Amino acid sequence: MRRTGWLIVLVVLLVVAGASIGHLLGRDADPRELTGVIGSEKAGFFADPEVKAALARHGLRLRLDPAGSRRMAGMPLDGYDFAFPGSAPAAVEIARHRRPAAPAVTVFSSPLAVASTSPIVDLLQSAGLARRAAAGGHWTLDVKALVEANQRQLRWDQIPGNATFQVKQAVLVATTRPADSNSAALYAAILNQVTGGNLNAVTKLFADQGAVDTTTEEPFESWLSRTTNFAPLVLVYEAQFLDRGKGDNHVLLYPQPTIVSEHTVVPFTAAGAELAKLLQTDPQLQRLAAAHGFRTAGAPLAPGAAALGGPDVIPSPDEPTLQALLDALEERLA
């Protein structure tokens, strides 16, 4: 009996010790599930097994719904722990519709960019619409020149010397719907800046596209599978292209000027606030975000990212200013 008693005590001690060690060394045995709505451009980051494992070590598991960043404010957000749109203005609008549990947190950023191919970029250069920032440097798309080309109805088949893309389509960038998607909303802000507020010119760049998608990931996926058969120029986030868009003849251009979009978490619960802080401060998660092409405070620029500054970048407008532009634009596009 005495021996049996000691065995029982030993087993109990081992169980307690195992539970304590499991708690100290890893909390992923029974992680808490958080629900969030995210900009579709971040789906690849959160689907990464390393990201999932890093979150699990902090006792977290995520269940996510993708949506256009501008659409989030109009969604029923009850039941979500957080929203994670693609910009600070979108985060402000979301917080206006559902009271956050803590201040919004910007965790990483990504400039607006344009995905294209070498033959198309050569045509743009010959038409005076694109150029290299420096010898061997990154490519830029002259937005003001693009607007002027669109105003004079320039088509791809009208570019002198064009023997590679002879289609009777307007020279423009394929985007999403500005009212739904943050990338298109910020692109509208860029167009508004370079045209000096010429709403007719801004509207034409969107109206000439016809029907468009509502999330930034949708046209990018179509471009990845079909490239110029889908569109010669597609608006993306730099991070999307650096993460999955680098093919043999694929080229990344930066609108001149561009806007650096701040991907911002709006926490609706204490758990959502914990996740926001973790994404902002955890070295491994910051490193993984950079590996997926995002710009972070805690990791170097991803390979292929351009060092932007000065006239390359304009500030994002505040939410009231941006919303007024989008309302006026939507009225004309209706």
Per-residue pLDDT of the chain (334 residues; tens, 9 = 90+): 445 555 444 444 444 444 444 444 444 457 899 999 999 999 999 999 999 999 999 999 999 999 999 999 999 999 999 999 999 999 999 999 999 999 999 999 999 999 999 999 999 999 999 999 887 799 999 999 999 999 999 999 999 999 999 999 999 999 999 999 999 999 999 999 999 999 999 999 999 999 999 999 999 999 999 999 999 999 999 999 999 998 889 999 999 999 999 999 999 999 999 999 999 999 999 999 999 999 999 899 999 999 998 889 999 999 999 999 999 999 999 8
- Pair of tokens at residue 58: 């902090």
Say if residues 92 and 319 touch (Cβ distance below 8 Å): yes
How far is Cα 312 from Cα 326, in angstroms, rounded to an integer? 23
Q: Which CATH number fits domain 111-260+309-333: 3.50.50.60, 3.40.50.300, 3.40.190.10, 3.90.15.10?
A: 3.40.190.10
Find out whether 81 and 267 touch, Cβ atoms under 8 Å. yes
E-only strand ranges, 187-325: 234-237, 250-256, 260-267
Three-state DSSP state, 190: helix
* Alpha carbon distances (Å) from 215 to 40, 116, 184, 194: 6, 19, 9, 24
Per-residue confidence (pLDDT) for residue 309, from 0 to 100: 84
Q: What is the pTM of this model?
A: 0.88
pLDDT at 4: 52
Domain ranges of the chain: 111-260+309-333
Residue closest to 320 by CA, chosen among 141, 89, 44, 99: 89
Spatial distance between the Cα atoms of 272 and 278, rounded to a whole number of angstroms: 10
